[in-house]
Structure 1
Amino acid sequence: MSAVLAFLLLPFSWLYAGVLAVRNWLYDVGWKRAATFAVPLLNVGNLRVGGTGKTPHVIWLVEELLRQGHRPAILSRGYGRQTSGPRLAGPADSAATVGDEPWQYFEQFAARRVVVAVAEERRLGANLLLREHPETTVIVLDDAYQHRAVRPTLNILLTELARPFYEDYVLPAGRLRESRSGAQRADAVIVTKCPPDLSEADQEIVERQIRRYSRPEVPVLFSAYEYAAPQALPDAAAISLPTALTAGPAVLLTGIAQPGPLREELEKQGFEIQYHALFPDHYIFMPADLTALRAYWQPGWPIFTTEKDATRLLAPGLRAARAGLPLYTIPVRVAFLNDGGAALRQLLPPAPTAEA
């Protein structure tokens, strides 16, 4: 967006921010009530529209909670699904019925008995989880920072290093869902997608900017992405694919908000991206999209995509269109800088004892 257009849209941003400020004030003073539950709610959210790295941070939290002896569940809105209302993810579901991110969680954690639910109204989703799975000890909320109808026990705010909330404006002049003052509700702020060698001096500069809006006692942490080796897409219709790839020409296929870091990582590994099929976040792939992709692909070239995109690419309706395409995902995980991981662990609720 040009600076001139952003300036012209500022009055609309002020109006939108004012409406949200009144709504937040009503919750803050108790005139609108937020639901609480018998188990802790850990929310991972952001102020900005678009990808700030929520999915890998949710995965980090769930992995840590499991390690500590919790029975965690995950609750998401289920953006982009073709169903509505509260729903527990099950083996018969797909990205179409629960959404791409919840389906990714289900596929990753179902074997470890982590329940995944989706609901536009998180209160109804939490009630469903606890009614059907009373063994749940903690619920991780995916992207509920603006969903004030439930009250998180721990509110984790993510912001990208390259696009920090303190340099942005409220929609439509910028990309913020609410004003910067929303950072006051955070119990921890994580600056995401940092280079692993981000200097302490640069971290201090960012932290000072964040502390203009956050509470003074709130920890400001920094995280980077770690990329695992490429994984062949688990698809019975696919050809037999080599597990080890050598650097060279490749194609990239994405339907996420911020594909830049993945492309940079692939290029750093020596892959030459000959074509990037770039689609909007949560895009529902069609057979024609994969047919068009073949015009830019040559046999022997791997086609890389994300774990989230893979949940949609494996739709039964795409089986014929993807046949013979060497599709690979690049698993992404979170690594905290300095002692950020230890600091976040200290904020997590203790697992109940066996006697409890």
Structure 2
Amino acid sequence: MTTGSAPGTATLTRDPGGPRLALAGDWTLPHYEALQRRANELAGAVDAATVVDTTGLGAMDTSGAFVVAELLGSARTQSLAQDESLPPARRALLKTVGDAIDTYCKGIKRPRDAGFVVMLERIGRAMEGFWKQTLKLLAFIGITLQGFFTNALRPNRWRVTSLTSHIEQTGLDAVPILALLSFMVGCVVAFLGSTALAAYGASLFTVDLVGIAFLREFGVLLTSILLAGRTASAFTAQIGSMKAREEIDAIRTLGLDPIELLVLPRVLALLIALPLLTFIAMISGIVGGGVVCLLALNISPSMFLTMFQTDIPITHFYVGIAKAPPFAFMIAVIGCMEGFKVSGSAQSVGEHTTSAVVQSIFVVILLDATAALFYMEMGW
């Protein structure tokens, strides 16, 4: 055995008797990096038929023994530890390292949970995520309302240009698609009503069905769902792109408030646009129902309007239009909040845009159902 201070080496040769691996030099911690690189180079070339020559092996510590064990494998290291040509201390070190690899370097097989346990775990995680999302939404609503109250009496801080631009984008640009959609739904409701009521000889009441349905529910609901998909996603994508490009950090660096600059104009624009769009949706749906009544039931426009005025009280209109501002506020807040949650990648922008649409539609339907129950109990 040599006990020099030369760095450890591993030389693989092809002798007539088979491959031969010669270990020489000091296999110690100061030479660990070079030894590890050499072991990686020889990975796969050393097999069970390779003869290991340790006659030139110098000093060895735990790090060197670990590299040997990685190179030869645990079983071969255990066999090398039985070599009588090695000093007892060297054999004990190799055996200890080999045993440690067998004991502690094995992957832990996780016991498979029962399907019911996995289902409960997923339900719990979903409920926890829902609760955290609700808290974040409430916190963002509070921040938005604080911004409203802070700037309400400071007209010099109102951003009229931004507000006007967002009203055009969210309101005026949505009129054609909303009017067409409401008109078609009005036609469908009138067709269904005339078909169902014909069995009872009450086809004439299709006028009442169309009027009440669009004034109370369909007008505001169709408008809110359309804007949840069209406007909430746009708000999230716009703010999320700014977040990804670090423009929001730049706004804060300039001493400006992102809520005041980005959120309040969008929320105010939707608060103005959605009630107006709801009114347009009501009119379009009623016109669609009137067209079907004229073509299918021979109810003239004058008769349609007379029945509409006589049978349907104005309360239904108030009930429907009163839902528009809360729906608009929630859609705008959710869209802006999801934009601020974007982490910085294009994938994150897409994920939060989808999340904004889903959350907005869910909240709109939830609020609509709650309002319907409230109005029913109040007798409105």
Q: Shorter chain as normaliser: what TM range?
A: under 0.3
Normalising by structure 1, report the TM-score: 0.19
- Say which structure is richer in helix: 2
Normalising by structure 2, report the TM-score: 0.18
Q: Which has the higher contact order (CA 8 A, sep 6+)?
A: 1
- Say which structure is richer in strand: 1
